[in-house]
Structure 1
Amino acid sequence: MSTTVTQQPQHSTLGEYKRWLRVSLYTILLLTGQCTATLLGRFYFAKGGKSKWIATSVQSAGFPILIPLLFYSSKSTNHDFSKPKRSVMITFYLGFGLLMIAMDFLYSCGLSYLSLSTFALVCATQLAFNGVATYFLNSQKFTALILNSIVVLTMSVILIALNTESEDSTDLPKEKRLIGLFCALAASATFALQHSLLQFYFEKVAKTGVFSVLLRLNFYPMIIASVGAVVGLVGSGDWRSMGMEMKEFEYGNLELTITPILAVFVFHDKIYAVKIVAFFLAIWGFLSYIYQHYLDDQMANQDRSDDGLQVLKGEEQI
């Protein structure tokens, strides 16, 4: 019995290190993908692109890459868990797909009307919206650190909205920049709502977090979003100008994908004092949010350790 007590902390510590290693890897991959997508989206509008629906469609058009993973997961997954009713799953797939198409279109509008640095700062409010959404949908408590992150992120956006000393590199009137600001804020709120609903689905509906369920919750909504983008492209009439747009685009038909990837590094957005202050406020809010999650994780680990020790003491008494 004493051997079990001494080995338990070592095993849990090793598992904790592996968990944080996976979380760090996933975070790096997520940030890399988001940054690349944002840079390429801004590159499209900066170099002559005009269609918001084209920019919207490419955000979900990569869903076929998930097909091999779907086949693999369907064969390797243990199907012991109980699946929700098909009607419930279809409803969630449709809802997530509609949220995705709305979010993608709003992001495209924000990228078309804002400079890259301003857009990135505004999108940092995703954390604030996430805190509000998880409070109502996932029963997450408001702590001082989360409230602090919401306040400072809100202040950073207000500073950007009130900043009149700079002219964004988009050379658009202030009214359109305000529309872009609103669209970026609405997209960030939709992003937070979608992720809170995903957590709600896993906890209350599917009651499992297996890989195959996660894949389907990405694959089918992306199909719906892609179809919606095509409908928007046709309905808006942008498809008629695609040929002309490719000819007028500064980099032609984009035959070499390395060209736009390298070209994004030549963007030189103007940085003003207000943007610097907003940037540090965003970093402050981000760190406050992350530190709160670290504290929650430490508390959960402590509770599990205490429960394990109580079980061991009970076994010793028996």
Structure 2
Amino acid sequence: MEAAEAAVEAPVPSESFTDQISKYKTMMIAAYKSKPIPYWILLILGIIAMVVAFPASSILSRVYYENGGQSKWIISWVAVAGWPLIAVILFPTYFITKTFPTPLNLKLFLSYIVLGFLSAADNLMYAYAYAYLPASTAALVASSSLVFSALFGYILVKNRMNASIINALFVITAGLTIIALDSSSDRYDNITDKQYIMGLVWDVLASALHGLIFALSELIFVKLLGRRSFIVVLEQQIMVSLFAFLFTSIGTFVSGDFQGMTSEATSFKGGKSAYYQVLIWGAITFELGVLGATAVIFLASTVLAGVLNAIRTPITSIAAVILLHDPMSGFKILSLVITFWGFGSYIYGSSMDDKQS
């Protein structure tokens, strides 16, 4: 009897660090073997696109303004001018997978028009933000889109919210508040206090609209499409981008900014070549980021996309400090840490929901 009790009370030996490493190594090898090599190649390319292309696009937007660019319409137009890149991916996919395009009914068509208009407005708001704010600050404030995505997703799509997600919303909001209170430390000399405040306001509004667009896109999948695949998402992306491109092109033409591109290019630091390179690469990098995010979500998970989205915020901020010499105050560093913490809490909460479902 005593021997049995001793056996029960005997402590279970904990795994050594070497055993844990070996266990994770075995799991990684098993995961690698469970998917074909092309899958991993596409996933890696998607990850690289997210963590490189999106920050590059943000940096290029700020480079445009720092070197003499003035137009908000031009930058918002650049954000959607790369939409043909999606077509280059989509059309061959039809032949490879032997599938047909999704039938386009009136409701779906109108939803694409609405999303296209909202996307055009969203890009214009972000253009104002990058015109008045340092790239590092704009990127940090834009991370608040996660808060609005969660809120609109809860209201419109009935997505679940647990304690970790709610905690993330409060933490990210706290980081945003710190940025707002520290506005005097990173304002450019040629930017007035009013312009800086308006930059913050436009950035928050754009983030809110971005969150709404994300929720509405998910609602379209639930209500109108009823299925979600890589091809269907590309179809939605190309249609929304096309209408956003049309709306933005009209706005850019009516504002006279298209006509003013020649004179703006002439006065641009570095000349016309540098001007058009900034715009062209801005369009390419933004669209590559979109394609990368789409690939990550459907090859891996939304949680991984959330992790990468969290990573690209500090990457953008650090790149802006190094390349554009953005001021980095102690408050901004604190905001960056808090925001990263908020992302981590959100990712943990989302992963818990995925496991429960």
Common fold: TM-score over 0.5? yes
Residue 128 (str. 1) matches residue 147 (str. 2): yes
1:267 and 2:324 equivalent? yes
Change (3 A) 1:17 1:31: farther
2:58 matched residue in structure 1: 38
Shift of 1:258: 8.8
Deviation at 1:210, TM superposition (A): 2.5
Q: Is the 8 A contact 1:169 1:270 kept in 2?
A: no
Contact in 1 for aligned 2:178/2:331 (Cα 8 Å): yes
1:147 Cα deviation from its structure 2 partner: 1.1
Aligned counterpart in structure 2 of residue 87 of structure 1, from 99, 106, 109 = 106
User: In structure 2, what is the equivalent of residue 292 of structure 1?
Assistant: 349
Q: 1:294 is aligned with what amino acid?
A: S
Which shows bigger deviation, 240-249 or 289-298? 289-298
**Contact 2:132/2:199 (8 A) holds in 1:** yes
Q: CA deviation at 1:85?
A: 5.6
Q: Which 10-residue stretch deviates more, 100-109 or 140-149? A: 140-149
**Gaps in structure 2 of 5+ consecutive residues:** 1-26, 283-318
Give, in whole Å, the separation in 2 of the partners of 1:136 and 1:113.
Answer: 32
Maintained 8 Å contact 2:135/2:326: yes
C-alpha displacement of 1:16: 11
1:56 corresponding residue in structure 2: 76
Map 1:1-318 → 2, pairs under 5 A = 14=31, 26-77=46-97, 86-169=105-188, 171-254=190-273, 257=277, 265-300=322-357
Output the CA distance in 2 between the equivalents of 1:103 and 1:223.
15
Provide Cα deviations, 1:185-219, integer angstroms capped at 9, x if missing partner: 11111211112222222222111112332121111
Change (3 A) 1:85 1:43: closer
Structure 1's 141 and 66: CA in aligned 2 closer, same or farther, altered over 3 A? closer
Structure 1: gaps of 5 or more residues: 1-9, 301-318
- Evaluate the alpha carbon distance shift between residue 239 and residue 120 of structure 1 in structure 2; reply closer, same or farther with a 3 A threshold: same
State the secondary structure of the residue aligned to 1:253: helix
1:45-96: CA deviation from partner (whole Å, max 9, x where unpaired): 1111001111111111111122233322333446599x56610121111011
1:137-186 deviation digits (Å, cap 9, x = unpaired): 22122211111111111111111112254141363111111111111111
Say if 1:27 and 1:125 are closer, same or farther in 2 by CA, change over 3 A: farther
CA RMSD of aligned residues (A): 2.9
Q: How far, CA to CA, are the matches of 1:157 and 1:218 in structure 2?
A: 29
Task: Name the SS of the counterpart of 1:208 in structure 2.
Answer: coil
Q: 2-side partners of 1:232 and 1:42: how far apart?
A: 21
Higher mean C-alpha displacement, 263-272 vs 105-114: 263-272
CA contact (8 A) 2:186 2:328 kept: no
Contact 1:77 1:212 in 2 (8 A): no
CA contact (8 A) 2:134 2:186 kept: no
Figure out how many residues of one structure are paired with residues of the other and give that number. Answer: 287
**Equivalent position amino acid for 1:275 in 2:** K
| Residues 86/170 of structure 1: CA separation in 2 closer, same or farther (3 Å cut) | farther
Amino acid paired to 2:193: K
Change (3 A) 1:80 1:222: closer
Q: Name the aligned partner's letter for residue 298 of structure 1.
A: K
Whole-angstrom distance in 1 between the partners of 2:170 and 2:52? 27
Change (3 A) 1:89 1:139: same
TM-score (ref. length: structure 1)? 0.81
Whole-Å separation in 1 of the counterparts to 2:143 and 2:117: 23
TM-score (norm 2): 0.72
* CA distance, structure 2, for counterparts of residue 16 and residue 190 of structure 1: 41
Partners of 2:253 and 2:99 in 1: CA distance: 41
Residues of 2 paired with 1:68 and 1:258: CA distance? 22
C-alpha distance in 1, partners of 2:162/2:190? 41
Deviation per residue, 1:21-53 (Å, 9 max, x gap): 677764442232211110111110111100111
Greater relative CO (CA pairs within 8 A, separation 6+): 2
**Cα deviation digits, residues 221-261 of structure 1 (max 9, x gap):** 21111111121112112233211110110021235849989
Q: Does the CA contact (< 8 Å) of 1:115 and 1:170 recur in 2?
A: no
> What SS does structure 1 have at the residue aligned with 2:272?
coil
